[in-house]
Structure 1
């Protein structure tokens, strides 16, 4: 019997890729996004008996409840919910404006909180389920130049871990996945901004396939509470949090490394004339 997956942020990036993965596996897919055109291009040639494309504004509890109710009418249950939708804002703490705060906090944090709350309530009623929330390694170690984004991802990670403890005795598993920089539109949004250099200071830029493997193997199959991608960089971030002032001492060298990698990506984009996402 197919599993029913409910995903946010399916118009592009990780959400789009994961919706395709679950569809290709033969499951029922509820693909949601605030962008109906992006959803339409994704699902146009799919078997419409196994897909339900819905416009969802993750910032709205009413929009969430309507999407969940429609999904239940269509498929009868929601087995797995993935909160993937997110936005990034590049800029220093003294420079971003109130509108930036509203957008990033509402989408990245409020959207995940509302989704977890309403999906969990349904899963408790039906006797079980699993929720996977996408945070970031920027929620494990603070990233200068992305302080607003980093703040929301720290909050998503903390909320997810707390919710996992609350819901486990009610048959609902919660996992939080924290990837490093992934080659999606979020990379594109940062590539020309030197403020975002620290995002590029790691090793290999992740692909959506890297995130897919972590979600499927670690979060869904092994039901790990927290998944760090890559694990080594995630643990370095955790250790660094024990001595936050130490992180300031190595920021300059990491920034230089990140700027060099940014320049490489910029040159590739210019020479190839292609979108790196």
Structure 2
């Protein structure tokens, strides 16, 4: 039995993976900044008895220490910490506010840094290694017009994760970065009505939380890779854009047009 700490568990990927790990018999500390929403999710009954719940604002060091204290009481953990919580607000560069900057960088970057640091310290003291899984995005690799702050935050998550992985390897602590395309979660739903977010919808289809589950359970946890992209085809495209960012200017109108058509189809289907 592993002891896992997950963030962002009131909805989306975090909620789904809490159930996956609980059903396989792991001890899970499920966290979210919205404790009421977390409790409502737990009350639905899909998580079972192996899940402990605690409020965690990923921007607050004290909240991280409390969650990790709980993991240690539950089973001497944590063995695995997954930084899943994230935020996104579409917006053109000229429309961004200082609050928007703080929102993205504080949650997506500072939250991941604090969680990785706190988890690594516990794992080093325990002396049995461990695994830290950070959820990035294909936006960690490719520029995304209309989502510049989100892309900036996820670029930062990638840089931090790669550096942390090199530092922590000598302690037998793996750091894996998972970079999915758009996933069908509330974060995707909020983008449908925003023209700025058209690029998000330019892929063949959104990933499902089950797609992410398969990647985490079948690839990331057993093999502990440095980083993976989901799906492969879009990952290759994102890496190409990262290698030659100037080429993205030629692709942008094509992908934005495709994304806007997809947004319109979704709106008509409501």
Q: Same fold (TM over 0.5)?
A: yes
C-alpha contact 2:3 2:27 (8 A) present in aligned 1: yes
Q: What secondary structure, in the 3-state scheme, does the structure 2 residue paired with 1:94 have? A: helix
Match of 1:188 in 2: 189
What is residue 85 of structure 2 aligned with on the other side? 85
Residue in 1 aligned with 2:125?
125
| SS in structure 1 of the partner of residue 190 of structure 2 | helix
Partner of 2:13: 14
In the alignment, the residues of structure 2 paired with residue 231 and residue 225 of structure 1 have an alpha-carbon distance, to the nearest angstrom, of: 16
Q: Residues of 2 paired with 1:239 and 1:257: CA distance?
A: 19
| Alignment partners' CA distance in 2, 1:39 and 1:243 | 42
Query: Deviation at 1:241?
Result: 2.1
Offset at residue 181 of structure 1 (A): 0.4
> 1:209-263 CA distances to partner (integer Å, 9 max, x unpaired)?
0111111112101211101001221122111222212110121111110001111
**Distance (Å, rounded) in 2 between the aligned partners of 1:41 and 1:253:** 42
TM-score scaled by structure 2?
Answer: 0.96
The 5 A counterparts of 1:182-261 are 182-261=183-262
SS at match of 1:183: coil
Q: Which moved more, 1:144-153 or 1:238-247?
A: 238-247
| Mapped pair 1:142 → 2:175 | no
Whole-angstrom CA distance in 2 between matches of 1:242 and 1:179: 18
Counterpart contact for 2:143–2:241, Cα < 8 Å? no
* Structure 1 consecutive aligned stretches of length 4 or more whose deviation exceeds 6 Å: none
Q: How does 1:54-133 map to 2 (within 5 A)?
A: 54-127=54-127, 128-133=129-134
Cα distance in 1 for residues equivalent to 2:247 and 2:51: 49
Matched, 1:176 2:148: no
> For the residues of structure 2 that align with 1:205 and 1:70, how far apart are their CA atoms?
35
Greater shift after overlay, 235-244 or 92-101? 235-244
Contact 2:92-2:147 at 8 Å conserved across structures: yes
Report the counterpart of residue 165 of structure 2 in structure 1.
164
Contact 2:143/2:245, CA 8 A, preserved across alignment: no
**Partner Cα separation in structure 2 for residue 199 and residue 116 of structure 1:** 27
Q: Any idea what the Cα deviations from partners look like across 1:30-76, whole Å, max 9, x if unmatched?
A: 0000111221123234544x221000000011111122113212332
